[in-house]
A and B are shown apart, each in its own frame.
Chain A
Amino acid sequence: MTDTTNNNPNPNDGDPILVMNRLCKNYQLGTVELRVLREIDITIYSGEYVAIMGPSGSGKSTLLNMIGCLDRPTSGSYRLGDMDVSQLDDNALSSIRGSRIGFVFQSFNLIAQLNVIENIEIPMFYQNRPEHESMQRATELATLVGLGDRMKHRPSELSGGQQQRVAIARALSNDPLIILADEPTGNLDSSSGADILGILDRLHSEGKTLIVVTHDENIATQAQRVIRLFDGCIAEDTYNHKG
């Protein structure tokens, strides 16, 4: 079922969408230099469904922040799409985050005082999409994730699973290159979790590129490719061949 060779050719024959080359991240803690990521090499192709796994302290979160352009690497290069984003300034990174990455968080991270539609519209607002257009798109996306009848509800009036669906709709709004999810089922009961996994699966089958950081072995089995981190290094990079 699992093929353990690292240089497995990409089964989808897509273009490389994310290329990390000898990427390092160090943190200075007083006089000690903490090497959190050590020479990471990853290439992810368009349409892949990748699970990043690893124990606490393995550098998972840091790698997620790197992929999500929330942080800059200490050394090495990171290409996202057609652009080297490793040394961009804060404004450029903000705009990359808004346009090329769709975030899904463990704790949903919806803005409490905004309703479903307004939450979905946030990324489009910062990309200066015209109001009527983003309104229309947000409505479509809300319907897509099955919340067509709750568009005016506040997050506090929704269940966890529904909130995470809003978050997924929000992540899709600018049609990003990759959807980056951090423990998307971590705060959900098993049935809502399965719900969310179903949606992720559907997005994958529609050709979206998904990167999911998780502890959840269910996701690992569902994903096409599993990258395991240990001590800031890639310990394993495997492709699942589903039956």
Chain B
Amino acid sequence: MHKLRSTLTMTGIIFGVSSVVAMLAIGEGASRDAQEKISQLGSRNIIVKTLPPPEDKSSVGQQQTMKEYGLTYDDAERFRGGIPNVRVLVPNRRIPEQALYRNKRVSVEVIGTVPWYPEISSLRVKYGRFITSTDTHYKQAICVVDEFVLKELFAFDDPFGQFVKIGTDYYRVVGVSTAQKQESSSGMNVPGSAKSGGGANVGKIYIPLTTARTRFGETSIQIGTSGATLERVELQEIIVQSKTIDQVLLTRQSVQSLLARFHKKSDYEIVVPLELMERAKDVQRIFTIVLGSIAAISLLVGGIGIMNIMMATVSERTREIGIRRALGARKLDIVMQFLSETLILTLCGGILGIAVGSLVPALVTYFGQMRTVITPASLVMAFGISAAVGIAFGIYPAYRAANMDPIESLRHE
């Protein structure tokens, strides 16, 4: 076999197989991403977030002193009372702040929440305790810090009973929770927490919702391009958990219609983790179509190239075929000989294709900020495809070889 010729012939297979590997890796990455997100956000949850309403161009002239928007405590009450199937409901205030302990300062997101917040999220208390109903009732100045804050502020100290200064007040640390991944850090953005900073991991401090309401108020100053404006937002987030997974979409509809009735501006957003799966499937489908067609075309062209080279090989080796036939080779033996040569060629192409195809997802991850996962099953499949191409395009040349007349082929020069 000619080395250069074989290598050139294999390129089609290499591209085809690497597209298959890349396609499967991107698809798998997208679906795992979605699954992870869902398990983090909770598959039965419906997350309603406050969004700044679109700028009202007509009111630019008369500079508003106060912008009021977003979710309210009334919304939360309405969800609780007006929607069946609601199991748990968590209203949250999210305030970007600086936390101070001794001489250390760290940017955090202060979350005013209710005692049952851990129930509906992946948040777990690692040491100490979470906020209790007593804390809520008495508007206690206590806080639960997550591991990220723990590391930043209390590198060498025991945090329990220590006071952390958040804003203007001191809060006593009563517990340490697991750090939750920043929602916007990975491929699929869940917008909403934009204020708390971009993709970087920001520590979180949990305090009772009532405390947050009294100590931080609901008004904040936003410094934008048009100068400072005052904003009033009651709640940044309401998480509604439905009783069963089947009712999630139904509950979502109820939430939406309730909100639509009481909010004139679209100052909210509804995120249903279950629907992220659908989005992931869309992404996956697009990549499957694009890379799948590249793969199909390259494999077809590569297969035809392989067939071409094998036809040339067969006619070059006519005499050898004649000799082998005279020496007792059956037609099947000749078929197997040429078919196995084609298979070796395509399987080499397949292995190289797998190598190249494993690099492509790495590049996609690096440049496209997209998660990719190469599963062993996808490699097996790519290998299988190259074998299938070998058989499909090798069978005809092999058949031609086997059916040559031995007398004629022996005479062939």
Contacts and interface: CB of A to CB of B under 8 A. Distances in A.
Chain A to chain B: the 8 pairs with minimum beta-carbon distance, closest first = A98-B328, A126-B328, A94-B330, A123-B327, A109-B323, A126-B329, A91-B330, A122-B327
A95 interface: yes
B176 to A, nearest CB: 69
B328 A97 contact: yes
Interface in A175-215: none
19 contacts: A65-B407, A70-B325, A70-B407, A70-B410, A90-B330, A90-B331, A94-B328, A94-B331, A97-B327, A97-B328, A98-B327, A98-B329, A109-B319, A109-B410, A110-B323, A111-B323, A122-B327, A126-B324, A126-B327
B183 interface: no
Contacts of B329: 94, 98, 126
A68 B326 contact: yes
Helix, strand, loop or mixed for chain B's interface?
Answer: helix
Interface in B16-52: none
Interface of A: 65, 68, 70-71, 90-91, 94-95, 97-99, 103, 105, 109-111, 122-123, 126-127, 170, 174
Contacts, number: 55
Interface in B358-413: 406-407, 410
A97 B326 contact: yes
Interface residues of B, number: 17
Nearest to A126: B328
Contact of A95 (B322, B328, B410): B328
Q: Which of B325, B326, B407 has the most CB of A within 10 A?
A: B326
B400 to A, nearest CB: 15
A105 B410 contact: yes
B278 interface: no
A239 to B, nearest CB: 29
Contacts of B333: 94, 126
B406 A95 contact: no
Contacts of A111: 320, 323-324
Nearest to B331: A90
Nearest to A102: B327
Contact of A99 (B319, B322, B324, B328): B328
Contact of B326 (A90, A103, A127): A103
Nearest to A123: B327
A170 B324 CA distance: 12
Contacts of B325: 70, 94, 97
Contacts of A123: 327-328
B326 A70 contact: yes
B12 to A, nearest CB: 26
Given A126-B324, A126-B330, 6 more contacts: A70-B326, A94-B329, A105-B410, A111-B324, A122-B327, A123-B328
Contacts of B332: 91
B412 to A, nearest CB: 11
B407 A127 contact: no
Contacts of A99: 328
B42 to A, nearest CB: 64
B6 to A, nearest CB: 15
Contacts of A105: 410
Contacts of A90: 330-331
Nearest to B323: A109
Nearest to B324: A122
A168 B180 CA distance: 81
A88 B203 CA distance: 86
Interface string B243-285: 0000000000000000000000000000000000000000000
B320 to A, nearest CB: 5
B338 to A, nearest CB: 14
